[in-house]
Amino acid sequence: MIQTPTPENTIDDTRSGYLWITLLALTLLLSGCDQGVHSPPSGPMGQAAQPLSGVADVSAERIVAADQEPGNWLSHGRTYDEQRFSPLNKIKRENVSRLGLAWESSVASVRGLEATPIIVDGVMYTTSTWSRVIALDAKTGEQLWQHDPKVQRSWGKKLCCDVVNRGVAVWQGKVYVGTLDGYLLALDASNGELIWRVDTLVDRDQYYSITGAPRVVKGKVIIGNGGAEFDVRGYISAYDSDSGELAWRFFTVPGNADGPFEHEELKMAATTWDADSNWKGAGGTAWDSMAYDPELDLLYVGTGNGSPWSQYVRSPSGGDNLFLASILALRPDNGEMIWHYQTTPGDAWDYTATQHMILAELQIDGQDRKVLMQAPKNGFFYVLDRATGKLISAEKYVFTNWASHIDQSSGRPVTTGLADYSQQDRYVFPSPAGGHNWQSMSYSRNTGLVYIPSRDVGWVFNEAGDKWFTFGADNVAELSVDQNLPDPAGYLKAWDPIAQRLVWQMELPNIWNGGALSTAGGLVFHGTAMGHFYAMNDQTGEVLLDLKIGTGMIAAPVSYSVDGEQYVAIMAGWGGPAFNTLAGNEALLQYSNSGRVLSFKLDGSKVRLPSPIAQRGPFPEPPDIQASPETIEQGRLAYVMNCGGCHGMYGSTPMLPDLRRLTPDKHLLFRQIVLDGLLEPLGMSSFAGDLSEAEVDAIQAYIVELSREAVAAQTK
Ligand code: CA
């Protein structure tokens, strides 16, 4: 009898250094976990009695008229305008302190959970790690079905930022998910069975991945992908929702200077790149945000950073490098571009414009304006006219030193000297983590405020330019001289988009927290890295509820109702890119990262905290591996480029085994693990072809050095 492992024993297995003899058993356990559970919907929802065509029958009419059924959450941002405002108001300021747990449901994960659940007629559709799709009874949390696309664990090394997924789209009885390994799947919403699967990748050898949620517009499933840290060329694709047939594809950057150009827009874009450099690929991946205006019939897509980050390498003579770091307005029928707005011309700082876009009607200078609002990574909050793409206003929403302001007439940032790292290292704010990243904002129609999960943190960009990553830069202090820099901190900011000013903010010790939800109950909900779930007065920021969950949150909450009862739900499970530190993250330092969906209601029960992290004892002495300082430094660089993205820049994260505690048997098998894929069933990719034996040995020497430092630190 194979049992599905609980998150708890998964944690224990990965933490304590399992013995080799258990590897086969573990593989069996994990493959047991991989089996999709295809039980028919049942229980109080009565789904089983419904005809198949009635299940998850989401249409454009329903999404556009979503306010007539506020109990549902039909699309990623609830509505096509992606406001993430719930009109439900039974939970309100006066009673929110009575909020308790309605149910919780494990999603068998100890890594980052980023999904926004979709709720249709009492059924919740969400995703876990490795692109697994789960349907739950939204009233009880009972699992109705699960679909595991069985993503090859070797794909793990193709990701910058954890094995995450931000959710599904639901449309006319089908559930759509983009998988880490680049497939788009259509599942039967009634039982999770696969209806069709298409390969969205133009090249399976490149480091593409999908972590974003699809949207469905006019019967087309729209999906982009990620990989701009790895030289891929960005594009967005539209598929027929019934057949899976490709309808159109829009490349966000030209493949090379001379063509051929797949579509007209690329001819113009190519003139903004260095014609003489050997560029290819080049980034601009559309890995997260989209919004749709049915009246204007415009699909808005945010595009990502340049690849490599350094423009001095990528396009040495400069240029805007369209359409990097841009907002594109496309016709959903054919992908034709109507306008574009580039937030960061010639991006050299990983300043993606893939961040959440919100459409709203604002009264500005006495005029009703159809606007698009975005807080991209670059630190400025933009309000654009979404019919024309023209700038209305832009102001700094976090500490920003690379540009002084956005020029009103051209809409372009005016850079400071600190933006230029071609001649010397620069300490630049915001960092590649962004003033704001993918974590969803929320726009309250009641207050007119936008709630922005944001952060103050900087990054050293090296003058060498060909190094993308400069973790542990030792010249931060020197570079900070004469700058009045903020300490690293996370924030939830309430922002007035008309006046372009801060109204209130909640300061948080960790920089990497969850998204926001506002409701007609006068509330803002927000989960934090510290494992606290807050409800605040949407006008003042006063904390009205502080529920200790014990698990860090990076996802955004949603609200829905079943049988007249209002619920607020969120996925808990901290993770994402390993450049995020654990500073202030008491949840991860105390408790296992127990991945689950939590749903709350008035007068619910007390939240049960996850099991505390077991005492692990002192660091063991590492094996007697000797290496020269030069080899250790080579190992450090190879480690940062190949290993740090998952294992943390200094050998440890709470989500994966602490490499400083590698057991002697693992050290003996180090080459087999790294090059032969010995632990691939557990998600440790083979790096054959990426690393030589000498590089692997140098990495091992660096890890041994980290272990020695840990041993020395504890004996002080
Ligand atoms: Ca990036």
Report the C-alpha gap between 120 and 146 in whole angstroms. 16
Flag the least confident range among 103-117, 231-245, 266-280: 266-280
Q: What is the mean pLDDT of the chain?
A: 89
Q: What is the pLDDT of residues 189-219, one digit of tens each?
A: 999 999 999 999 999 999 999 999 999 999 9
Ligand 1 centre from 353 Cα, in Å?
Answer: 10
In this predicted structure, the answer to whether residue 522 has a pLDDT above a threshold of 70 is yes
**Same-domain pairing of 197 and 339:** yes
Of the pLDDT bands very low, low, confident and very high (cuts 50, 70, 90), residue 12 is: very low
Flag the least confident range among 29-43, 312-326, 660-674: 29-43
Is 488 within 8 Å of 435 (Cβ atoms)?
A: no
In this predicted structure, the answer to whether residue 2 has a pLDDT above a threshold of 60 is no
- The reported pLDDT for the residue numbered 657 is 82
**Same-domain pairing of 659 and 588:** no
Here the tokens at position 340 are: 């574009």
Enzyme catalytic residues = 350
609 in a domain, yes or no? no
Here the tokens at position 335 are: 């992908």
Is 527 within 8 Å of 572 (Cβ atoms)?
A: yes
Q: What is the pLDDT of residues 383-440, one digit of tens each?
A: 999 999 999 999 999 999 999 999 999 999 999 999 999 988 899 999 999 999 999 9
**Same-domain pairing of 456 and 557:** yes
Ligand 1 centre from 189 Cα, in Å?
Answer: 33
Ligand 1 centre from 211 Cα, in Å?
Answer: 13
Ligand 1 centre from 223 Cα, in Å?
Answer: 17
Of the pLDDT bands very low, low, confident and very high (cuts 50, 70, 90), residue 4 is: very low
Here the tokens at position 172 are: 């006319």
Is 254 within 8 Å of 273 (Cβ atoms)?
A: yes
In this predicted structure, the answer to whether residue 574 has a pLDDT above a threshold of 50 is yes
* CA distances to 293, 515, 519 from 450, in Å: 19, 12, 12
Is 131 within 8 Å of 151 (Cβ atoms)?
A: yes
Comparing CA positions, the residue from 309, 659, 318 lying closest to residue 470 is 309
Ligand 1 centre from 696 Cα, in Å?
Answer: 26
- The reported pLDDT for the residue numbered 579 is 59
Report the C-alpha gap between 470 and 64 in whole angstroms. 46
Last residue of a domain, one of 546, 579, 602: 602
Q: What is the pLDDT of residues 501-521, one digit of tens each?
A: 999 999 999 999 999 999 999
Q: What is the DSSP string of 281-302?
A: --B----S-EEEETTTTEEEEE
Ligand 1 centre from 325 Cα, in Å?
Answer: 10
Ligand 1 centre from 304 Cα, in Å?
Answer: 6
285 in a domain, yes or no? yes
341 in a domain, yes or no? yes
Report the C-alpha gap between 643 and 627 in whole angstroms. 19
- The reported pLDDT for the residue numbered 614 is 73
**Max mean pLDDT range (213-227, 263-277, 564-578):** 213-227
- The reported pLDDT for the residue numbered 181 is 98
User: Taking the alpha carbons of 203, 204, 207, 209 in that order, is the dihedral positive or negative?
Assistant: positive
Q: What is the pLDDT of residues 242-251, one digit of tens each?
A: 999 999 999 9
**Same-domain pairing of 550 and 643:** no
Ligand 1 centre from 147 Cα, in Å?
Answer: 29
Ligand 1 centre from 142 Cα, in Å?
Answer: 37
**Same-domain pairing of 369 and 229:** yes
**Same-domain pairing of 556 and 633:** no
**Which residue shows structure tokens 């697994």?**
132
Range of 701's domain?
Answer: 23-35+616-714
Ligand 1 centre from 609 Cα, in Å?
Answer: 34
229 in a domain, yes or no? yes
**Same-domain pairing of 583 and 625:** no
**Same-domain pairing of 144 and 216:** yes
7 in a domain, yes or no? no
Comparing CA positions, the residue from 548, 424, 521, 540 lying closest to residue 481 is 424
Of the pLDDT bands very low, low, confident and very high (cuts 50, 70, 90), residue 577 is: confident
Report the C-alpha gap between 274 and 288 in whole angstroms. 27
Ligand 1 centre from 378 Cα, in Å?
Answer: 12
Ligand 1 centre from 307 Cα, in Å?
Answer: 8
First-to-last C-alpha distance (Å) of the chain: 49
- The reported pLDDT for the residue numbered 471 is 54
Ligand 1 centre from 15 Cα, in Å?
Answer: 29
Average pLDDT of the segment spanning 606-623: 86
Is 274 within 8 Å of 316 (Cβ atoms)?
A: yes
- The reported pLDDT for the residue numbered 590 is 82
55 in a domain, yes or no? no
Average pLDDT of the segment spanning 293-319: 94
Q: Is 548 exposed, middle or buried (0-12, 13-18, 19+ CB in 10 A)?
A: middle
Ligand 1 centre from 344 Cα, in Å?
Answer: 13
Ligand 1 centre from 227 Cα, in Å?
Answer: 8
Whether the predicted model's global pTM rises above the 0.75 cut: yes
Flag the least confident range among 65-74, 360-369, 545-554, 572-581: 572-581
610 in a domain, yes or no? no
**213 contacts: CB under 8 Å, gap ≥ 6:** 76, 115, 116, 165, 166, 167, 168, 169, 178
Average pLDDT of the segment spanning 688-713: 93
Per-residue buried b or exposed e for 263-276, using 16+ beta carbons within 10 Å of the residue's own CB: bebbeebbebbbee
**Same-domain pairing of 101 and 168:** yes
Comparing CA positions, the residue from 456, 470, 437 lying closest to residue 398 is 456
Q: The CATH number of the domain where 109 resides is what?
A: 2.140.10.10
Question: Is the peptide bond prior to 629 cis by the omega test (within 30 degrees of 0)?
Answer: no
Ligand 1 centre from 229 Cα, in Å?
Answer: 6
E strands present in 181-259 = 183-188, 194-199, 215-217, 220-223, 235-240, 246-251
Average pLDDT of the segment spanning 356-382: 98
| Strand, helix or coil for residue 142 | coil
Last residue of a domain, one of 602, 627, 642: 602
**Max mean pLDDT range (349-353, 470-474, 586-590):** 349-353
Of the pLDDT bands very low, low, confident and very high (cuts 50, 70, 90), residue 13 is: very low
Ligand 1 centre from 350 Cα, in Å?
Answer: 5
**Same-domain pairing of 320 and 422:** yes
% of the chain beyond a pLDDT of 90:
74
Report the C-alpha gap between 556 and 442 in whole angstroms. 9
Helices (H), 330-391: none
Q: Which residues pair with 250 in a beta bridge?
A: 236
**Same-domain pairing of 72 and 191:** yes
Q: The CATH number of the domain where 670 resides is what?
A: 1.10.760.10
Ligand 1 centre from 493 Cα, in Å?
Answer: 23
The domain tally of the chain equals 2
Helices (H), 258-334: 265-270, 311-314
Last residue of a domain, one of 602, 634, 668: 602
Ligand 1 centre from 257 Cα, in Å?
Answer: 23
Determine phi and psi for 698, rounding to 5 degrees.
Answer: -65, -40
11 in a domain, yes or no? no
- The reported pLDDT for the residue numbered 576 is 87
Of the pLDDT bands very low, low, confident and very high (cuts 50, 70, 90), residue 31 is: very low
Flag the least confident range among 143-157, 465-479, 628-642: 465-479
Report the C-alpha gap between 144 and 707 in whole angstroms. 45
**Same-domain pairing of 638 and 579:** no
- The reported pLDDT for the residue numbered 279 is 64
Ligand 1 centre from 136 Cα, in Å?
Answer: 33
